Structures are given as structure tokens and as C-alpha cells.
Amino acid sequence: MSGNVLISPELISRLEHAERVGVFTGAGMSAESGVPTFRGEEGIWKKFKPEELANFDAFMRNPGLVWEWYNHRKQLIGGITPNAGHYALAAMESRHRLFSIATQNIDNLHQRAGSKTIHELHGNIGRNYCTGCGTYYAEEQLALLGDVPKSNSCRGLIRPDVVWFGEMLPAGEWDAAVRAAERSDIYFSIGTSAVVYPAASLPILAKSAGAYVVEINIERTDFSRHADEVLPGKSGEILPHLLAQYARPTISSVETH
């Protein structure tokens, strides 16, 4: 049970005094909600190869296959709810003057748990846009356009609003996530294998800018040796436990980094 993971007095003291906290999350954050990770034993990359699915050329070559994969994930995500880890981060936000979450996840679970300042580095599975004219389509509209949806205005292929391999991250989200990493007193890297760049460079950036960096993961990662503290275990168990270890007055106005 991760609830009895040893959290250092150093981290508790730092949390009690930290004005600025940054968080970086990956698929492991949503694992306890039932969303499969990418690279774990049950990972979705085990069944599908990223190069076949999560890149633009694969989409243009076989849009039906890529839509089948995203619709499968949408169904998965549609039936789940945020877990205790998501709610703990949402509660943590009101304790620190500057608090933000840079997430690689596209499942909307941080939003649904009530977190306010979220930078979606890899997009959101609930948004879709036309590759031709850029028009955005809501889920309800998409449902009327068949298995390989095309835009009404230009007949271009509609795609999920997610960042594929070889694609740039949304500039505004990325810049805000970098600012937060550079300014944090404490920076958490939670539930990520830290192998996909440039997102995985955020905890390294935070560390080099002087943050106290904490990794929460069920296993060691490429980043573990750089962390100031590694809390081994499930984020859905460790985060509520961490939240109960310290108190700070609630900050009324949520600011962004």
C-alpha cells in the first residue's frame, strides 16, 4: 500500500513553504482510472506500433485505422472517472500561489477532477479539426460524419486534436509549461516513463532551474537518478497521502506561472 511510502521531512517542510509548485503527468496518472498506459505490460503500444498510428503520415495513409484506434480509446475514456490522485492534485492547487499541471495525457481527467491551470502538451482526445481548413468539430458533429469524417466546407480529412510523433507541441501550452518548470520551488514528475521529448525535458529543466524535483512512479525511469526524491508507488495512493501530510492556508485567487 503506497499510503505508507516514506515521505521525507524535507519534502513536507518544502511543501509547507512552497509558493510555486509545478506538476508534470503522464499516462501512469490515469492508470488507476482504468486507462491503459503506452509502454507498460498492458500498454497500448504493445498491441499497436506508434509509427503505425500516432503520426500524420500513418493517418493520411490509413485514416480509418487511426480513427478506429482513437474511437476505441474514446470509448475507454468515456466510461471512466478521475482517480484519487487527480482529485489530490486539484485540492493541492488552492494551497500554492502558483500551481500548474503540464500533462501529456489527452483524457481530460485533470479537468474533470477540478484542476484549473492545465497545459495540455499533447492535445485532447475530445477535440477534432479538419486537416484542410482547420475547422473544429465537436464530438456530436463528428458522429454524423461516418468512420472517416471529412469537413463539410472543404472535404478535408478531420483528425483528432492530439500531437503525433514528428509534430510540434502547441506553442502556447509548451511555453507556459517551460515557464512553470523554470519557476517552480517544487516540481513533481508523476506517472511518466520520461521517454517522449520535448515533454520529458521539463523535469530536467525544473531541476536545472533549482526546483526540488520529486518523482512518483511504480517503477524507476530514465529520470529517477536526477530526482531529489523518488516516491515509489501508485500516484492514486501517494498523492492523497502526501496531501494529508501538510497544511497551508487556502489561496483564494489561482494564479498561473
Contact set with ligand BV8 (CB under 6 A): 26-28, 31-32, 37-40, 43, 54, 104, 106, 122, 162-168, 191-193, 195-198, 216-219, 221, 234-236
Closest approach of ligand BV8 to the CB of residue 89, in Å: 13
Identity (one letter) of the amino acid at 92?
M
Closest approach of ligand BV8 to the CB of residue 104, in Å: 3
Using a 10 angstrom Cβ sphere, with 0-12 exposed, 13-18 middle and 19 or more buried, the burial of residue 10 is: exposed
Q: Minimal CB distance to ligand BV8: which residue? A: 28
> Each residue of 28-60: b (16+ CB within 10 Å) or e?
bbbbbbebbbbbbeeebeeebeeeebbbeebbe
Is the Cβ–Cβ distance between 246 and 9 less than 8 Å?
Answer: no
Quick one: 20 or 25, whose CB is closer to ligand BV8? 25
Closest approach of ligand BV8 to the CB of residue 154, in Å: 24
Closest approach of ligand BV8 to the CB of residue 52, in Å: 12
Quick one: 83 or 151, whose CB is closer to ligand BV8? 83
- Report the C-alpha dihedral over residues 45, 48, 52, 56, rounded to 10 degrees: -60
Quick one: 20 or 59, whose CB is closer to ligand BV8? 59
Q: Which residues are known to be catalytic?
A: 122
Quick one: 20 or 173, whose CB is closer to ligand BV8? 173
Helices (H), the chain: 9-17, 28-31, 44-47, 50-53, 56-61, 63-78, 84-93, 109-113, 139-143, 171-183, 201-208, 235-243
